[in-house]
Amino acid sequence: MQEIQEVLLTPEKIAARVKELGAEITRDYQDTGKGLILIGILKGALPFLADLIREIKTPLRYDLMAVSSYGVSTKSSGIVRIIKDIDLSIEGEDVLIVEDIIDTGLTLKYLVETLKSRRPHSVRTITLLDKPSRRVAEISPDYNGFIIPDRFVVGYGLDYAERFRQLPMIAVLKPEVYS
């Protein structure tokens, strides 16, 4: 594909890490006595969520949430609006927010604060990709797939203008495509 500059993470590397994360979450939540609810953040986290729930070997439920960060092109303004809220009640439950990527951290911080106000037992976070060099908000994921450099990536759910989500890998997009 001519718009791709390089492959950062192969499908095999992603699958192996998702399996490890699923085992870690299984260990952490198997004896809590609470319900585990995963909340996938649409649209980007959908492939990660689908693969992750198959690797977690403890009872769970999941729901989906869609948020919008106003801004132009590849930049987020940090103003977050909930487009689709969850349907499940999370009061008294263990919640795990599933994100595709964390860069500034503003969206994830907003989601954690919003969901904590609904009185769950706990709220933790997992991300497939983390760009700590772009962090603005004081937040770090509880579970982290990969730390990546500050490059514009697509694939495995991540997009540019709704394209490239279907790619089975994480790839760096050529700057001329989005500039």
Annotated catalytic sites, by residue? 103
Per DSSP, which regions of the chain are E strands? Answer: 4-9, 36-42, 60-69, 80-84, 94-102, 122-130, 143-147, 153-154, 170-173
- What's the CA gap between 136 and 15, in Å, rounded? 29
- What's the CA gap between 59 and 56, in Å, rounded? 8
Instruction: At 36, list the tokens.
Output: 């585990």
DSSP 73: T
> At 20, is the secondary structure helix, strand, or coil?
helix
Instruction: At 164, list the tokens.
Output: 């490239």
The structure tokens 């439950």 sit at 93
Give one DSSP letter per residue of 112-149, joined into a string.
HHHHHTT--SEEEEEEEEE-GGG--SS---SEEEEE--
